[in-house]
Amino acid sequence: MKRKLLTLTLLLVSISFFGQPGPPGGPPCWPPPCIPIDGGVGIFTLLAAFFGYKFYKKSTN
């Protein structure tokens, strides 16, 4: 249970760190015709770290 709670907490915190809300009342990024990096990058990073650790542990045994 603790592990699931820790994973969920890290996932939600990473989404809030990688999201780009932009300035109040302005476009989300500058110059306006751009594509902002959202929380998907954080989720992808966490998944990559998880699978990397999983394969590392498997290869050391």
**DSSP SS3 for 1:** coil
Kindly give the confidence (pLDDT) of every residue in the chain, 61 residues in length, as a single tens digit, with 9 standing for 90 and above. 788 888 888 888 877 666 666 666 666 666 666 665 666 777 888 889 989 888 888 887 6
**Total-model pTM:** 0.39
CA distances from 18 to 3, 22, 47 (A): 22, 12, 15
| pLDDT at residue 33 in the model | 66
Q: What spatial distance separates the first Cα and last Cα of the chain, rounded to whole Å?
A: 26
